[in-house]
Amino acid sequence: MVKPERGDPLKDITSSRGRGLRGKKVVLCVTGSVASIEVPALARELMRHGAEVHAVMSEAAERLVRPETLQWATGNPVVRRLTGETEHVKLAGEWEGRAHLVLVAPCTANTISKLALGIDDTPVTTVASMALGGRIPLVICPAAHEPMYRNPAVQANVRSLVERGVVFVGPTSEEGKAKMASVGEIVEAAIKVFSKQDLAGRRVVVSGGPTAEFIDPVRVITNLSSGKMGLALAKEASRRGAEVFYVYGGELAPPVGIRSARVRTTAEMRKAVLGELKNGQSDAFISAAAPSDFAPVKPAPRKIPTASGRLNLVLEPTPKIVEEVRRRWPRIFLVAFKAETTPTDSALRVAATKFRAKLRADVVVANDVSEGRGFGSDRNSVLILGRKKAFSLKRRPKEEIASRVMDEVVEEMGKHRVG
């Protein structure tokens, strides 16, 4: 385990967003691609998920991003040359303080090819070569102009690295360039390297975010849900090996690699969730969405003029998706979120217990949303109520809550036979 130094002002963001890389030493190798301007943001995001980051640069990278910037971003000295200190051995040699992961981002076509052929003539190729020979996980995030990346020699070298167990993230083909994967995708791939694969072979449907109902063609009623909790759950299930289908409202799209459907209204969410469950392959439904519970009975076909003055809306309840799922799939593993405005923890527990019994849910996650608490924020306080145990998490990052919920899913689903 690597512990960040206490009180280091450059590292005060460590684990602020999640714990997926807590205690992990990540060597971030940077090569001479313009995508290296994304590296400070990448380093900071790895740290927000708990990593201790050490940057290593090639000479070509130094012309594009300043070593000082990477030193600030990581809070650690940057390796620019190999010296008598044998920096490559300190970072990736066979001793207990070595890196848990070597990440080359961005990785040039040049460096890909050198790694495939065992050529070590820069600090980056030497550290990555140590990883390849020393069984440290190696993740490569290529970036290049399209013709450079399509070069048959480079492609053959990519294949040979993949055959040796190297994980490639991206590139995405866009505007004639093989662009580096997004910071979010790279962090996701790094976390996956360390995630237990205890949901491998499982199919999980997750819903998240708000839905909105039309008053007229441009106005809606909705709620304050951001979709951060649903997204955290979808990512966590995917990291742990599940095949995830994420149905969501709102703006927060899942990373590439998670199958998803974006919806607007509760009716659309219902259709997408039921459509997936009808395939009969799903093991679990995790209902974290905040569907708009009411919809105007008669949405106006045209924009309602403000000159009309006071407006009376007649609302009707929308379909309860989670109840319908339980009715139609009585044996699916069901995790249901319940937002309550309750004054005390004990009142929340009573409400959650009733809700669990009514739905015959396997796990209920209840939270107090008085004064909009929990909505939109990166943290939340929840009560997790399983079949045999109940526990509270207070003001924890949503990623951590997702991980604890998934622990319950794995434990309970192990005992659960899906019919």
Ligand X SMILES: Cc1cc2nc3c(=O)[nH]c(=O)nc-3n(C[C@H](O)[C@H](O)[C@H](O)COP(=O)(O)O)c2cc1C
Which residues would be at the binding site for ligand X (CB under 6 A)? 31-35, 58, 60-61, 64, 108-111, 122, 143-144, 148
Residue 26 to residue 6: CA distance in whole angstroms: 18
157, 223, 279, 312: the catalytic one is 223
Which H or E run includes 10? none
- The CA-atom distances, in angstroms, between 208 and each of 182, 291, 362, 368, 371 are 22, 9, 18, 17, 20
Nearest to 410 by CA among 231, 284, 323, 270: 284
Q: Give me the phi and psi of 204, to 5 degrees please.
A: -130, 130
> Shortest Cβ distance from residue 79 to ligand X (Å)?
13
Omega prior to 106 cis, within 30 of 0: yes
Q: How far is the CB of 92 from ligand X (least distance, A)?
A: 17
> Which tokens belong to 118?
């065992």
CB of 176 to ligand X, least distance (A): 12
| Crossing angle of helices 39-48 and 67-74, rounded to 10° | 10
Q: Which is nearer to ligand X, 110 or 225 (CB)?
A: 110
**Shorter beta-carbon distance to ligand X: residue 34 or 418:** 34
How far is residue 176's CA from residue 166's CA, in Å, rounded to a whole number? 25
- Taking the least distance from each CB to ligand X, the nearer of 29 and 348 is 29
Number of other residues whose CB lies within 10 A of the CB of residue 315 = 14
Nearer CB in complex with ligand X: 175/371: 175
Report strand pairing: 101-107 vs 138-142: parallel
CA nearest neighbour of 237 among 402, 17, 46, 10: 402
Token pair belonging to 295: 């919809």
What residue is closest to ligand X based on CB? 32
Q: How distant, in Å, are the alpha carbons of 128, 382, 387 from that of 390?
A: 45, 10, 8
State which residue, 44 or 114, has the beta carbon closest to ligand X.
114
Instruction: Write the CB contacts of 407 (distance below 8 Å, at least 6 apart in sequence).
Output: none
379-385/363-368 β-pairing:
antiparallel
> Given the complex with ligand X, which of 31 and 292 has the nearer CB atom?
31
What's the min distance (Å) between Cβ of 98 and ligand X?
22
**How many helices (H) and strands (E) would you count in the chain?**
14, 20
The least CB distance from residue 139 to ligand X, in Å, is 16
Could you tell me if 405 and 411 are in contact, meaning their C-beta atoms sit under 8 angstroms apart?
no
What is the 8-class DSSP label of residue 229? H
Task: Check residue 372 and report its DSSP letter.
Answer: G
Q: Which amino acid, one-letter code, is at 326?
A: R
For residue 55, the minimal CB distance to ligand X (Å) is: 13
230, 260 contact by CB (below 8 A):
no
Sort residue 160 into left (φ over 0), alpha (ψ -120 to 50) or beta.
Answer: alpha
CB of 272 to ligand X, least distance (A): 38
Per-residue b/e over 83-93, b at no fewer than 16 CB within 10 Å? eeeebbeebbb
279 is catalytic: no
User: Least distance to ligand X from the beta carbon of 360, Å?
Assistant: 54
Pick between residue 120 and residue 268 the one whose CB is nearest to ligand X: 120
Return the number of the residue (129 or 282) whose C-beta is nearest ligand X: 129
Active site residues: 223
